[in-house]
Structure formats: structure tokens, C-alpha cells
Amino acid sequence: MSAINLAMKLASFSEYWQPRTVGKFNGYDLMVVKVKGEFVWHKHDDTDDFFLVLEGRLTIRMREASVVVGPGEMFVVPRGAEHQPVAEEEAHILLIEPTGTPNTGDARTAAVRREA
């Protein structure tokens, strides 16, 4: 057993919008992801969507409003709410999701689950 260094995990890959699982917690995946540009509009019918910004800024567009999340801040998109994460510059994010949740809300278009 040892501590997980999130900065080292993030340094191990360069692709955007490709989450890497760094741990598991009570049936949830703990993931880090680098983001830049726009992700697809999507929703998760069965789960909320948790974002904790480690570095940079993330805008989460929703149909009724947008939320800007900065370093050390988090935001939870309620289940069923259509949203689009956007980062003008590279940002590093911690995600917590039930294991197997497709990042696009649709298993056919989701990123393959990878470990860092």
C-alpha cells in the first residue's frame, strides 16, 4: 500500500478526454483526466457526474446555465442533466464515477477504461 501521487499519474499520459483510473472506492472509479477544448454534449441517466479541478479551469455548460470551476473547486452535475465540459486551456480533473459509467453517457461512444 502506498499513497497515489495524482501529479505523477497525470504526467504519465498526454491524451485529452481519456480518463485514467487511479484507484477504486466502494464500487466507484477514481480517475484523473487531462482536458482541453470541448467535450460532447451528453448526460448520465443513472448517476451524477463529479468533477474536482486539480489544475486549470473547467467550464461546465448546461442547458440552463454554465458553471466555471477552478483549482480546488468541485461541481456535481445532477443525473439526467445534459452538459458539456469545456476547457480553453489544459486542465487536470479528478473524476469519481460508479465503475463502468461511460464518459459520454453512451457505451457505444465512450472512451475505453484505462489505468494510469
Q: Could you tell me the mean pLDDT of each successive run of 10 residues in the chain, 116 residues long?
A: 94 95 95 96 92 98 96 97 97 93 69 72
Examine residue 1 and state whether it is found in any structural domain, yes or no.
no
List the domain range (segments joined by +) for residue 75: 6-115
Examine residue 41 and state whether it is found in any structural domain, yes or no.
yes
Give the CATH number, domain containing residue 97.
Answer: 2.60.120.10
Q: E strands within the chain?
A: 20-25, 28-38, 49-55, 58-62, 66-69, 74-77, 83-98, 114-115
| CA gap 51, 12 in Å, rounded | 20
Place of cell 448517476: 47
Q: Model's pTM, two decimal places? A: 0.90
| CA gap 1, 110 in Å, rounded | 31
Examine residue 108 and state whether it is found in any structural domain, yes or no.
yes
DSSP β-bridge partners for residue 23:
30
Examine residue 51 and state whether it is found in any structural domain, yes or no.
yes
